[in-house]
Amino acid sequence: MAKKEKKIPVSALKGTMSQETVTIPLDGADGVDVVVQKTIPLQEVMQFVADVVASCVDEADGRYMPEVLPFAIKAHVLTSYTNLTLPSDVKKQYDLIYNTKVVDQVVDQINQVQYFEILDSIQARVKYATRKMSNLATEKVNELLVRMEAFADNAEQMFAGVDGQDIAALMQNLAGAGSVDEAKLVEAVFSAQKSEVEGSGSRMDNVVELRKTEE
């Protein structure tokens, strides 16, 4: 009988894990220390990625703002890995992030493997979201082209048999209509076609019928 392998509990590896938190003094801020969590839980990683993507991609409006992405990443590094509370004013957040060394100090202390995996995940999510928006926009354009083609076919049938004078009369009717909708267009075409038929009838009245002579 094969010897059963010994199971090693996770607690036995606790001593090999890196320190969970570290306290660092902020450069340029005497007496201010920041507590940095070296590795954040999976749920917080997922929230980090989702929040950053949402800050620069608006799928509802089809907008992508790449200029916001670096700022959002840096801001979430501070809120996710430290005990810092960022000001509610975005301008003050921007000044803190770009006019101090706090972000660099924090990034130097956190789990580098996790950090770069977060960056890769953000890039993948942004790529997925922008591709999705692009495909949706393409679908809408194709739908519009189909509708335009159908309208062109209908217009060709509507104007069949209408000569130049009728077109001129149609344009005069539409000129004072302001905004032109489909119902007004159809009505104008029918009016022009009716005039054509009535005109043909009046011309037919002038035709002299030739009677057939008996042999």
Name every residue whose Cβ is closer than 8 Å to that of residue 20 and which is 6 or more positions away in sequence. 37, 38, 39
Q: How far is CA 214 from CA 207, 210, 211, in A?
A: 22, 13, 9
Alpha-carbon span 194 to 199, nearest angstrom: 8
The two tokens of residue 99 are 């006019």
Q: Among 30-34, 46-50, 156-160, 184-188, where is mean pLDDT lowest? A: 184-188
Report residue 203's pLDDT band, with 50, 70 and 90 as the boundaries.
Answer: very low
Question: pTM for the complete prediction?
Answer: 0.60
pLDDT tens sequence across 22-74:
999 988 777 789 999 999 999 999 999 999 999 999 888 888 999 999 999 99
To the nearest 10°, report the CA torsion of 176, 180, 186, 187.
Answer: -40
